[in-house]
């Protein structure tokens, strides 16, 4: 192979982008969900996720990023589509149909939406139906590991070229608890009077721990894969790893239950000045996150201090 092709190929790997978008051929679109979930829909329509479809492409910041990456049309760019838009393939044609929508967070619905909504079921049937829905790609709100991993896949902005060359922000100052309980919150379907209730204390505690573990896992992966360790992207990912590590240390100092022992020892082994090969560690962190999800967690009330210390939610929850 001559040098020219070597350079082209290494540039490709250097800047190959993460593909996150749900499979457009399995997207049914928010209008279909609205048929049964009109309240959740009206809340979603007042979020940045909904508005990004209209607002983002017009912004000076978007045009400047596009220019640096020689992208002609932001809406047509698969890079921007990955995190800002929802695509649907219908009759062989793929179109942008929305911003970040229901299926960006709950999974492309074509193969599960009729299964999850079946009525008149016994408890036993219900179990099977949920298992079927999840196997068909549904991300249920109770599966915090999947839910959080999915938010972070967009919110870490894991795309080195987009950040270092395009000048896009290197991720959000994300926290699963405060970022899910503000403008995003739409816990209206299962509440009696349609109240948009806060997640339970038990769920918030698990969200705090799992959110921090997955952020650490994704940040060390991003840093170890970064080509330019001095670039804005790698520097931000390392800072993120250190920040989430510190939060986990605070969590495991506050909550000394045996349920978090394994998390404590795993994170204690992590040296953020040596993050070259992290795949084993990353697998371990994911395993620990799943253990946390399944832990009984009766005595985790101490974590509420940390939760109230997170401050305001991101945006206000809607009535």
Is residue 245 close enough to count as binding ligand HEC by CB under 6 A?
Answer: no
Spatial CB neighbours of 125, under 8 Å, sequence gap ≥ 6: none
Q: Quote the least distance from Cβ 272 to ligand HEC, whole Å.
A: 22
SS3 sequence, 137-186?
Answer: CCCCCCCHHHHHHHHHHHHCCCCHHHHHCCCCCCCCCCCHHHHHCCCCCC
Is residue 218 close enough to count as binding ligand HEC by CB under 6 A?
Answer: no
- Cβ distance 164 to 232 under 8 Å? yes
Query: Which range touches ligand HEC (CB under 6 A), out of 98-106, 229-237, 272-280, 285-293?
Result: 98-106
Within 2-31, which residues bind ligand HEC (CB under 6 A)?
28, 30
Tokens of 308: 């109230």
Closest CB to ligand HEC among 183 and 221?
A: 183
Q: Quote the least distance from Cβ 26 to ligand HEC, whole Å.
A: 10
Is residue 77 close enough to count as binding ligand HEC by CB under 6 A?
Answer: yes
Closest CB to ligand HEC among 194 and 301?
A: 194
Within 166-195, which residues bind ligand HEC (CB under 6 A)?
166, 168-169, 172, 179-180, 182-191
- Give the whole-angstrom CA distance, residue 75 versus residue 133: 31
- The Cα-based distances of 154 to 128, 148, 200, 269 in angstroms read 31, 10, 25, 27
- Is residue 89 helix, strand or coil? strand
Query: Which range touches ligand HEC (CB under 6 A), out of 1-9, 163-171, 239-247, 267-275?
Result: 163-171
Closest CB to ligand HEC among 46 and 261?
A: 46
Burial of residue 199 (number of CB atoms within 10 Å: 0-12, 13-18, 19+): middle
Is residue 71 close enough to count as binding ligand HEC by CB under 6 A?
Answer: yes
Per-position x/- string for 115-134, each x denoting binding to ligand HEC as judged by CB under 6 A, each - no binding: -xx-----------------
Query: Which range touches ligand HEC (CB under 6 A), out of 140-148, 248-256, 272-280, 283-291?
Result: 140-148
- Rounded to 5°, the CA angle 139-252-269 comes to 90
Give the closest residue to 280 by CA, choosing from 222, 221, 214.
221
Is residue 155 close enough to count as binding ligand HEC by CB under 6 A?
Answer: yes
- Give the whole-angstrom CA distance, residue 180 versus residue 141: 11
Radius of gyration of the chain, Cα coordinates, nearest whole angstrom: 21
- Give the whole-angstrom CA distance, residue 167 versus residue 164: 6
Query: Which range touches ligand HEC (CB under 6 A), out of 90-98, 154-162, 277-285, 292-300?
Result: 154-162
Contact with ligand HEC (CB under 6 A) among 24, 52, 160, 300? 52
Spatial CB neighbours of 115, under 8 Å, sequence gap ≥ 6: 129, 132, 133, 136
Is residue 164 close enough to count as binding ligand HEC by CB under 6 A?
Answer: no
Contact with ligand HEC (CB under 6 A) among 165, 199, 307, 317? 199
Closest CB to ligand HEC among 180 and 266?
A: 180
């Amino acid at each position: 192979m001559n040098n020219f092709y070597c350079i082209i190929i290494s540039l490709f790997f250097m800047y190959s982008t993460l593909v996150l978008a749900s499979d457009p051929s399995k997207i049914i679109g928010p209008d279909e969900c609205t048929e049964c979930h009109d309240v959740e829909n009206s809340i979603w329509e007042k979020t940045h996720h909904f508005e990004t479809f209209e607002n983002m492409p017009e912004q000076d910041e978007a045009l400047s990023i596009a220019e640096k990456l020689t992208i002609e049309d932001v809406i047509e760019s698969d890079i921007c589509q990955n995190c800002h838009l929802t695509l649907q393939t219908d009759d062989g044609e793929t179109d942008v149909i929305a911003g970040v929508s229901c299926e960006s967070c709950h999974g492309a619905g074509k193969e599960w939406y009729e299964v999850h909504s079946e009525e008149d079921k016994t408890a036993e049937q219900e179990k099977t139906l949920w298992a079927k829905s999840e196997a068909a790609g549904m991300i249920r709100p109770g599966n915090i590991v999947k839910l959080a991993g999915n938010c972070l896949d967009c919110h870490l902005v894991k795309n080195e070229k987009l950040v270092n060359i395009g000048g896009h922000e290197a991720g959000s100052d994300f926290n699963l608890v405060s970022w899910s309980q503000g403008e995003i919150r739409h816990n209206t379907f299962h509440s009696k009077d349609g109240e948009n209730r806060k997640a339970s204390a038990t769920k918030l505690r698990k969200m705090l721990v799992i959110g921090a573990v997955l952020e650490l896992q994704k940040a060390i992966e991003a840093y170890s894969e970064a080509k330019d360790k001095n670039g804005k992207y790698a520097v931000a990912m390392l800072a993120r790893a250190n920040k989430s590590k510190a939060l986990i240390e605070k969590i495991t100092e506050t909550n000394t239950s045996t349920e978090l022992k394994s998390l404590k020892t795993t994170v204690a082994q992590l040296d953020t000045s040596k993050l070259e090969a992290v795949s084993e560690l990353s697998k371990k962190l994911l395993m620990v996150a799943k253990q946390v999800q399944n832990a009984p967690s009766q005595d985790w009330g101490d974590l509420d201090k940390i939760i109230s210390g997170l401050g305001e939610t991101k945006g206000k929850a809607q009535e």
